[in-house]
Amino acid sequence: MLISVIITAHDRQCYLVEAVKSVLNQEIDKRAFEILVVKNFKEEGIDNFLSENGVRLFYTDQKSFGVKLGIGIENAEGEIISFLDDDDLFFPKKLSRVSEIFADASINYMHNSVVAINETGKTFAEGISKNIRSQITVPTKALSAYERELTRFKLDWYVSAISCRKAVLLERLDFIKKSNASLDRVIFFISASRNGNLFFEKIPLTYYRIHESTTVIFSEFSQYVRNKADFYSRSASSLENLYQNLNTPQLSEILKTEVIHSELMAFFYSGIKYRRISLYDLGFAVKLAIKRKNMTLLLWSVLSILRKYFHLLPVFFIYVISVHRSLSYSR
């Protein structure tokens, strides 16, 4: 069973070689995997390194993350695909564990725990991810029973923690290419729309790097708001389109909750620039959060209500908290 590792990069060059090396150093036969890099730049030193190590290289001028993933998926020769952002790293045992899990033909999706690192590779005592405490296998038809775990442990986040079957993604390849935000969640819900099982691994297998260009919380307030508003607006659009395309019985309520959550986030950071939300909509979000015992949705419902009446004040409050966190990450 061949595993295809897809690494994407846009403009950023400083981490790519290190990411590729983390794949080359896997504790598994090199014939068991291939590496594909999809990027928008050419750099002689990097390109020579990739060529010398048998990496399959693809160029595109498209900025869209979905387009880059789509290029990798359609050119991958492996039955299983593992994703890796150019600034993240695999643990040496990552692919051997992926191979073990997908030996079970019922598994369509795997998500592993992560360890947060900074720009220099130093690990944080407390990472940004609340990793799941025990490994579980979830039938897609029973996904709603695990909704709290899904939200609490971010089991649909972090592209670099995700592996899945290529055949599942090929069925929705056009949709992936058209998405330009929240591709981790897009991949998760596409996988969950198929009959089969989802596997969540408690063992950390990915280093997730926190740095300025990923967190955007090092920027001044106005830039912070613009970046957040742009991202969550694109994310809301991706998830809304996903809801229309994947409105299957086992996903309907969960995906609708995610759409409302993303719309709240877009409204919170942008005001009416990208989203208009009425008091009725906000009240519905609160009721839905209470009904589904979704504390994250409840939090952002309340924050959005405050946003409606206090304008940028609650956004500035979140910004201050984010800056404090970013300073702790950079130490």
Q: Is the pLDDT of residue 324 over 70?
A: yes
Nearest to 190 by CA among 206, 208, 216, 172: 172
Percent of the chain with pLDDT over 70: 92
Give the pLDDT band of residue 212 (cuts 50, 70, 90).
Answer: low
Give the number of other CB atoms < 10 A from CB of residue 86.
23
* Spatial contact of 83 and 159, defined as CB atoms under 8 Å apart: yes
Task: Identify the structural domains of the chain with CATH numbers, from first to last.
Answer: 3-213 (3.90.550.10), 216-330 (no CATH)
Write down the residue that tokens 């090092």 correspond to: 218
Q: What is the average pLDDT value for the chain, to the nearest integer?
A: 89
Q: Which two tokens stand for residue 44?
A: 């002689």
| Mean pLDDT of all residues in 93-100 | 98
72-86, 179-193, 202-216, 285-299 — most confident range:
72-86
Q: Is the pLDDT of residue 189 over 80?
A: yes
pLDDT, tens digit, 9 for 90 and up, residues 262-278 = 899 999 998 765 566 77
Q: Which helix (H) or strand (E) is 165 found in, with range?
A: strand 162-165
Cα separation of 195 and 244, whole Å? 19
